[in-house]
Amino acid sequence: MAVGRWWSRGKRREQQDTVEVRLVTGASYRPPDGELVEMLAAAEAGDDAAMGNLGAVFHSNGESVAALHWWERSWAAGNTTAGYNLGMYHSAAGDDNRAQVIWEQVAALGDADAMLGLVKQGLERGDSATVDRWAPGILAQDQAFPITALGVAFRDNGDLDQAVHAFRRAEELGDAYAMEYRARLLTAQGRTAEAEALLAKAATAQRML
In the CATH scheme, what is the code of domain 112-209? 1.25.40.10
Q: What is the pLDDT of residue 18?
A: 54
- For residue range 151-174, what is the model confidence (pLDDT) as tens digits? 999 999 999 999 999 999 999 999
Judged on CB neighbours under 10 Å (0-12, 13-18, 19+), 6 is buried
pTM: 0.85
Positions of the chain with pLDDT under 50: 1-17, 25-27
Q: What are the residue ranges spanned by the domains of the chain? A: 1-109, 112-209
The Cβ of residue 28 has, within 10 Å, a number of other Cβ atoms equal to: 15
The answer to whether 1-109 and 112-209 have equal CATH topology is: yes
- For residue range 115-127, what is the model confidence (pLDDT) as tens digits? 999 999 999 999 9
Q: What is the pLDDT of residue 122?
A: 98
Whether the CB-CB separation of 147 and 178 falls below 8 Å is answered with: yes
Q: What is the pLDDT of residue 91?
A: 94
Decide yes or no: CATH 1.10.1200 for domain 1-109.
no
Whether the CB-CB separation of 114 and 107 falls below 8 Å is answered with: yes
Judged on CB neighbours under 10 Å (0-12, 13-18, 19+), 35 is middle
